[in-house]
Structure 1
Amino acid sequence: MNKRLVFAILAVAFLAGAILRFMAGGLAYGVMLLILAGASTWFSIKAKRD
Structure 2
Amino acid sequence: MKIVVVYGAPMSGKTTYVRNAMTEYDLVFDYDALTHAMTSTKYQQHNDKHIH
What is the TM-score of this pair, normalised by structure 1? 0.32
What is the TM-score of this pair, normalised by structure 2? 0.31
**Which of structures 1 and 2 has the larger relative contact order (alpha carbons within 8 angstroms, sep 6+)?**
1
Say which structure is richer in helix: 1
User: Who wins on radius of gyration, i.e. which is larger?
Assistant: 2
